[in-house]
Amino acid sequence: MKIAIVKLSSLGDVLHALPVAHALRRHFPEAHLTWIVEAREFAILKGHPDLDSVVPVDTRLWRRLIWRPAGAVEVGHKVSRLTERIRRARFDVAIDLQGLIKSGLLTAYTGAPLRIGFAFGRCREPLNALFTNRRVTPPPEAVHIVDQNLSLLAPLGVKASTPVFHVPSESAAEQRIEEFLAEQGVKPRDRLVALNPGAGRPSKRWPVEPFGRVAERLAVEAGARVLLLWGPDEEAMARSIAARMTSRPILAPPTTISELSALLRRCALMVASDTGPLHLAAAVGTPCLGLYGPTHADRNGPYGPRCRGLRSPSGALAAISPDDVFAAAMELLE
């Protein structure tokens, strides 16, 4: 049996879908599993042991090209080549975990006789359901998106008991991170706590000032080595937190996904808003504290027994108290 998993982006969403691949591999060990994903998220799936192939697509590039002269023609050629490649695979089953129109189109392009997706009322874009022919409404107990994703396997007779996240490690990346931490004077038994102030949009970012207060207390009262993570256009936030501390924090270097995974594996705790690195930390087994405002922690929080989501009662992240964050962080550290 040939099965296509369609989950394009973002990093956190792809990580939340990893247990689907593992459950399929356990139930159908001889099946050929392909994952269709955005090019930017390809790195997290490269070399994954539960997958036979990964097909990267770049819809972000398509959206940029479409507005340029002759761009529509170029996009048309790219889509045509992708469609031909997907159809040549002759999939038996396609599972749309994204629930968007673009993922629905790619699911339809597979030509799979069985195309599974969420029911109309559960799709992020309801028109997505037009491209599937087996629509699933997750059971009430499937609150988190990880469990909702796994519920789509019911038509195949697959029931996963405990979700398994597998993030492959890369020995070269592990070595580079060990060298970096050694340069920073971090010893194996040091309590390393990562803070990530960035997020995809401003409404998901906890302000820098309370982040700085929590970072200072973690360093002084908990004896932690504070590691400040940052992504594109986020370095200024990390440096602003560092400037509020009396002790010297560690500013993370630019990293690949493999290097970031290796860095997070060394941490005793990750504190961050709803963002990809938070879910990567949870996936590699690091205890996590997620800070939530406009999104629901029950559905989108870091997943795992040593993870917790702290949500603002007003929906505004600024309303979360630094004292509450520090107390929750200490509970997870202890």
| Angle (deg, nearest 10), helices 208-220 and 235-243 | 50
Q: Domain 2-156's class? A: alpha beta
Which residues, 6+ apart, have CB-to-CB distance to 297 below 8 Å?
290, 309, 310, 311
The pLDDT tens digits for 262-314 are 999 999 999 999 999 999 999 999 999 999 999 999 999 999 999 999 999 89
More confident residue, 32 or 67: 32
pLDDT at res. 260: 97
User: Has this prediction a pTM greater than 0.75?
Assistant: yes
Question: Tell me, what's the pLDDT at 88?
Answer: 93
- Enter the tokens of residue 181: 């931490």
pLDDT at 69 over 80: no
**pLDDT value of position 310:** 97
Phi-psi region of 192 (alpha: psi -120 to 50; beta: other; left: phi over 0): beta
198 has pLDDT over 90: yes
> Would you say domain 171-333 falls under CATH 3.40.50.2000?
yes
Q: Are strands 32-38 and 53-57 parallel, antiparallel or unpaired?
A: parallel
Span of 65-69, 155-159, 250-254 with lowest mean pLDDT:
65-69
CATH 3.40.50.2000, the chain: domain bounds: 2-156, 171-333
Residue 10, preceding bond cis, omega within 30 degrees?
A: yes
| Structure confidence at residue 73 (pLDDT) | 77
Q: What is the pLDDT of residue 75?
A: 75
| Residues belonging to the chain | 334
